[in-house]
Amino acid sequence: MNTKLTLQLNKEVIEKAKEYAQTQNTSLSKLVEVILSKLVSDDQKQELSPLVKSLSGVIELETDYKLKDDYADYLSEKYK
């Protein structure tokens, strides 16, 4: 059974998604349905790629490291 869903998205994203759907010979609704069904599917547990697995644990951070503070400092320097 199909049910209507209303979404509010950035206009540019919608236009690009419509173009993409057209190149795939599908509707935007079907495209969204496929993507959402993959996200919620129990069968689609994503495996880490070998590259990502090899990089896991490469960087050791201090136990009290605060990513948000570090990122805020970076942005502060960037936009001086």
In Å, the largest CA–CA distance within the chain is: 54
The pTM for the full model equals 0.49
Give the C-alpha separation, 80 to 77, whole Å.
5
| Chain segment 3-40, per-residue pLDDT in tens | 998 999 999 999 999 999 999 999 999 999 988 887 78
Tens of pLDDT, residue by residue over 64-75, are 888 899 999 999
Neighbouring CB atoms inside 10 A of 17's CB total 16
**What are the domain boundaries of the chain?**
11-44+56-78
